[in-house]
Amino acid sequence: ILIPIGIFVGLLLSAILIFVVRTRMSMPTMIRNGLKGSEFNLLYQPVVDLSSGTMMGVEALIRWRRNGKDFVPPETFIPVAEQAGIISLITARVFRLLAEDAPHILSERPFFHFAVNFSAGDMHRPGVVEEVRRFASQSGIALDNLVIEVTERSLVDVNLAGETMRQMRAAGIRVAIDDFGTGYSSLGYLAQLHVDYLKIDKLFVQALGTDSPTSQVAARIIEIAKDLNLQVIAEGIETKRQERILKGLHVGCAQGYLYGRPMPLDELLQLLRRKGSVRRLEAA
Ligand code: C2E
Ligand code: MG
Ligand code: MG
Ligand code: MG
């Protein structure tokens, strides 16, 4: 009698094992499935001119609501997509979503700037500048109103990424180095790259006015930018105090919860339609 029970238990255990393995899909598979449906969407965060408070444009930030339920942060799934070699699928989706939304925004503000985040895989992909051109013509965004944000970490192959930057610049597309100061690359290459903006990482903005040794880094980055003739965008501004210090350092553009959180399209449109928001975007 023990033998049939043993067989039964064995079969039961393997059935459970197969069930567990099949339902625990890998994250790249879940990303692919999510792209088949409509699990991804974009939020828009205002970028303001620091001296006037005017909204110059927005940064598009991707969101993933897996199975329509749990929210997966981009910091989790973007690296997975990069590793799995499917970042081009994500970028294509960002372009498609932005091409749907941009005409609504442009009808409120014809000269609005749009920033899109690129990964190393995007910068290394042959023909990517052609992809950007096609997206621009589909969305109605002028090439010189488009900013491609690249982190220092995505400059894995500086020669290849540098060539893409050169082509982008030649096409009139602007390039920003995102999260500047958090990568590990040397400053030497920066002068050679075709870059328009340095984005100061929120780590350094949030250290401003504190007694941490990091509190002086933002000022050094601003000096470097000035030497290289680059514009500065400070990100992660949450307080009036941080704003005051950055204004004192003559920073041009700013982004952060003080001006607006990443928001869905309808909220952005409401904000743009509200009278006076052209002149001064008040803190939420
Ligand atoms: P990022 O490009 O540096 O984007 C800025 C991040 O800082 C965003 O996080 C934004 O929500 C957050 N942030 C903005 N203002 C504040 C503030 O005042 N305080 C604080 N604490 N945080 C603030 P998010 O949306 O979670 O995105 C994280 C990163 O994921 C982005 O960093 C970017 O590197 C990446 N990412 C987002 N969307 C895309 C995308 O479409 N493609 C690619 N390749 N990467 C993306
Ligand atoms: Mg960015
Ligand atoms: Mg950043
Ligand atoms: Mg970041």
Q: Measuring CA to CA, which residue among 149, 61, 55 is closest to residue 108?
A: 55
Amino acid at residue number 55? M
Q: How far apart are CA 152 and CA 228, in angstroms?
A: 16
For the record, the structure tokens of 124 come out as 């290394």
Relative to beta strand 55-66, strand 70-72 is antiparallel
ipTM at complex level: 0.98
Q: How far apart are CA 177 and CA 196, in angstroms?
A: 8
Nearest Cα residue to atom 17 of ligand 1: 236
Asked if 48 contacts 55 with a C-beta cutoff of 8 angstroms, the reply is: yes
Per-residue pLDDT of the chain (284 residues; tens, 9 = 90+): 778 888 888 888 888 887 766 667 899 999 999 999 999 999 999 999 999 999 999 999 999 999 878 999 999 999 999 999 999 999 999 999 999 999 999 999 999 999 999 999 999 999 999 999 999 999 999 999 999 999 988 888 888 999 999 999 999 999 999 999 887 666 778 888 889 999 999 999 999 999 999 999 999 999 999 999 999 999 999 999 999 999 999 999 999 999 999 999 999 999 999 865 544 444 33
Number of Cβ atoms within 10 Å of the Cβ of 267:
14
Ligand closest to Cα of 60 equals 1
Q: Which residues surround ligand 2, an ion (CB under 5 A)?
A: 117, 149, 178
* Residues within 6 Å of ligand 1 by CB: 45, 61-62, 73-75, 78, 90, 94, 117-119, 149, 178-179, 202, 235-238, 255-257, 262
Nearest Cα residue to atom 11 of ligand 1: 262
Model-level pTM?
0.91
Residue whose CB lies within 8 A of the most ligand 1 atoms, among 235, 237, 241, for a mutation test: 235
How many CA atoms lie within 13 Å of 187's alpha carbon, on the beta-carbon side? 9
Which residues, in sequence order, are CB contacts of 214 under 8 Å at separation 6+? 203, 204, 207
Q: How far apart are CA 117 and CA 21, in angstroms?
A: 34
Ligand 1 atom with least separation from CA of 61: 38
For the record, the structure tokens of 240 come out as 């009036």
Q: How far apart are CA 157 and CA 189, in angstroms?
A: 12
Nearest Cα residue to atom 21 of ligand 1: 236
Rounded to the nearest whole angstrom, what is the distance from the C-alpha of residue 90 to the centroid of ligand 1?
Answer: 15
Number of Cβ atoms within 10 Å of the Cβ of 25:
12
